[in-house]
Structure 1
Amino acid sequence: MNKDIAQGKWHQLSGSMKEKWGELTHDEITEMGGKFDKFYGKMQEKYGMSKEEAQKAFHQLNS
């Protein structure tokens, strides 16, 4: 998936992300700005997930 498509999907998924992971604030999601490493890091910080678990969780939301 190229970077432009991924960032477009990020914007589409931001609402779903707030629903699924209520501890993520709108500001945090906006700050991540489609940068998946920042998302994975925030998931590790707030939910105690490993990077692999965060990747899997995001891909499940995306499917």
Structure 2
Amino acid sequence: MNWDQIKGNWTQMKGKAQQKWGKLTDDDLDIVEGKREEMIGKIQERYGIAREQAEKEVDEFSNNC
């Protein structure tokens, strides 16, 4: 699924994102609103990982949706 589709279905995708990244809060996910770059930034912030790793995880998430 591409990010345009994820953004369009964000209400349903929020639950899946929270299952994958448990440290993300509801507020974090509301701020993200299905935006890829915002999601990468929040994952970096919460998990303290490099941007490249966060991008890889977000891409895997979108491929598995």
TM-score (ref. length: structure 2): 0.73
Quickly say closer, same or farther: Cα 1:3–1:46, change in 2 above 3 A.
closer
Provide Cα deviations, 1:5-37, integer angstroms capped at 9, x if missing partner: 34125x142111101111101111011112222
- Report how many residues are paired: 62
Q: What RMSD over aligned residues (CA atoms) do the two structures have, in Å?
A: 2.2
Q: Which residue of 2 aligns with 1:55?
A: 55
Preserved contact between residue 40 and residue 54 of structure 1 (Cα < 8 Å):
yes
Quickly say closer, same or farther: Cα 1:28–1:59, change in 2 above 3 A.
same
- Percent identity (aligned): 37
Q: Which residue of 2 aligns with 1:16?
A: 16
Structure 1, unmatched stretches of 5+, are none
Q: 2:59 and 2:39 mapped to 1: Cα distance?
A: 12
Preserved contact between residue 6 and residue 62 of structure 2 (Cα < 8 Å):
no
1:56 Cα offset (Å): 0.9
SS of 1:31's equivalent? helix
